[in-house]
Amino acid sequence: MPRRTALERLTTDKNMIDRLLSHDRPRSPWLAALLLAILVVLAIAPFLFPGAKSMSVVAKILVFILLVASYDLLLGYTGIVSFAHTMFFGIGAYGIAIASEKLGAGWGAVGLGLLGAIAVSVLLSLAVGLFSLRVKAIFFAMITLAVASAFMTLASQLSEFTGGEDGLTFRNPEWLSPSFEPFETPVLGLLIDGKAITYWLLFFTVLALFLLILRIVNSPFGRVLQAIRENDFRAEAIGYRTVVYRTLSNVLSALFATIAGALLALWLRYVGPDTTLSFEIMLDILLIVVIGGMGTLYGAVIGAVLFVLAQAYLQDLLTVGATAVQGIPVLQSVVAPDRWLLWLGVLFVLSVYHFPTGIVGRLRARALKVRP
C-alpha cells in the first residue's frame, strides 16, 4: 500500500510538471538536467554572484531569454523573418524611462509607461503585420528593417523626449532603488537591497512569461502557426486565414519584446539607442536563436546563457590565455584579448557546423537514437 501511494504521488508530480510545461518536455535527460541547473542558478544568483559585473551578466541573460523566446515565436514557430524586433524592445525601455522622468519615480509611472509602450507596440506591430505580411518573406524582412532604422533615427533626433544619443537616466521606485534595504542584517550572507529585489522581479517575470509563451506555442493556435511555417499554402487551403494568424503572431512577439525592454530599463535605470535599438542587438538575437535551436523555446534559454557568458567573459579568458603563452610570438598574437570578437565568430561557426539544428535539436535527436 505505501508503495502504491508513492507511485501515485510520483505520477501526480509528473502530471503537474507536464501541465506547467504545456506537455512540451525537454525530451532529453541531458537537456532536462541542463535546464534545471540553469533555473536553480538563476533563482539564487544574488547569493552565488554578489558582484556588480556578475549580477549584470545574469540579469542580461534573463532579459535575453525572454527577448529571444519572443523572437522564436515569430521566426521558429511562424517562419517570419523580421528585423524590427529591437524596435519593440526599445519601445518598452523608452516607455518606462520617459514616464519615470516626466512623472517621477513611482509604481504609477512604471505602470503607465509599460501600458503606453504596450499600446504603441501593439499598434505598430498590427500596422506592420497587416500592410506587410501579404508580401513575400524577403520583402517583409526589408520593410521591417526600414521601419526599425527609421525608428532608431527618430529616437536619436527627438532629444526632448528620448534624450537623443545620450539617452535617459531615471530613478526607479523606492523598493527597486539600490539604496533600499528592507533588512538590517544579511540573509544567508547577502544584504538584500533594491538591486536584488529588482533582479528577482526580472526572474519571476521572465519565468512566468516564458511558461506563457510555451503554452501559446503548444496550443491549437501554436499548431496553426507551425502549419503555416511548414506550408502556408496548405494551411490556407484547409481554411485558415494565414494573414490573420501571422499578424497575431507578430503582435504577440512584439508584446513580449516590449516587456523585455521594460525589464532591461528597470535594471539599468538608463535607456539609450545603443542599449536597446542598435542593429547589433538584432544580430545577437539571431545568433542566439541559431545556436540554441529554432522552433524550440528551450533553445532560447541555452543559447542566451552561452552567448551572454561568452560575450562577457571571453575577453577575460583570452587575457589568461595570453599570459600563459607569453613569449611565444604567434600564439600570443592569436589569443590576444583584443581578438575576442574573432574568437566569438569562430565559436559561432563551430557551433553551427556541429549543431546545425541547434544545441536543443542535437540533444533531442541524440535522445531519440538512444531511446528504444
- Give the per-residue pLDDT at 4: 56
Residue 270 has φ and ψ, to the nearest 5°, of -155, 145
Task: Provide DSSP, 20-50.
Answer: HTTT----SHHHHHHHHHHHHHHHTHHHH--
Q: How far apart are alpha carbons 73 and 222 in whole angstroms?
A: 9
Would 249 be classed as within a structural domain? yes
Q: How far apart are alpha carbons 256 and 284 in whole angstroms?
A: 17
- What pLDDT tens digit does each residue of the chain (372 aa) get? 445 566 566 566 677 777 878 777 888 889 999 999 999 999 999 998 888 889 999 999 999 999 999 999 999 898 888 898 999 999 999 999 999 998 888 899 999 999 999 999 999 999 887 776 666 667 788 888 888 888 888 888 888 888 888 889 999 998 888 888 887 787 777 888 889 999 999 999 999 999 999 999 999 999 999 998 888 888 888 888 888 888 899 999 999 999 999 999 999 999 988 888 888 899 899 989 988 988 889 999 999 999 999 888 888 887 777 777 777 777 777 777 777 777 778 888 887 777 788 889 888 888 887 765
Would 312 be classed as within a structural domain? no
Q: How far apart are alpha carbons 161 and 97 in whole angstroms?
A: 10
- Give the per-residue pLDDT at 371: 63
How many other CB atoms sit within 10 Å of the CB of residue 120? 17
- Consecutive H or E run containing 365: helix 358-370
- Give the per-residue pLDDT at 1: 41
Q: Domain residues for 95? A: 52-297
Nearest to 196 by CA among 181, 174, 210: 181
Q: How far apart are alpha carbons 294 and 358 in whole angstroms?
A: 7
**With b meaning 16 or more CB within 10 Å and e meaning fewer, what string describes 300-318?**
bbbbbbbbbebbbebbeeb
Angle at alpha carbon of residue 279, lines to 278 and 283, rounded to 5°: 130
What's the DSSP call for residue 223?
H
Would 19 be classed as within a structural domain? no
Would 148 be classed as within a structural domain? yes
Grid cell for residue 202: 526580472
Provide the domain count of the chain: 1
Give the position of cell 506563457. Answer: 212
Would 247 be classed as within a structural domain? yes
- Give the per-residue pLDDT at 98: 93
User: How do beta strands 168-169 and 270-271 pair?
Assistant: antiparallel
Number of H helices, E strands in the chain: 18, 2
Which residues on neighbouring strands pair with residue 271, listed in sequence order?
168
Grid cell for residue 232: 502556408
In the chain the first and final C-alpha atoms are separated, in Å, by 31
Q: Is the pTM of this model over 0.75?
A: yes
Would 267 be classed as within a structural domain? yes
- Give the per-residue pLDDT at 37: 95
- Consecutive H or E run containing 368: helix 358-370
**With b meaning 16 or more CB within 10 Å and e meaning fewer, what string describes 208-221?**
ebbeebbbbbbeee
Would 367 be classed as within a structural domain? no
- Give the per-residue pLDDT at 268: 92
Nearest to 261 by CA among 77, 76, 105, 60: 60
Question: Which whole-number Å values give the CA distances from 118 to 77, 173, 185, 269, 301, in the listed order?
Answer: 22, 20, 39, 19, 24
How many other CB atoms sit within 10 Å of the CB of residue 295? 20
Would 1 be classed as within a structural domain? no
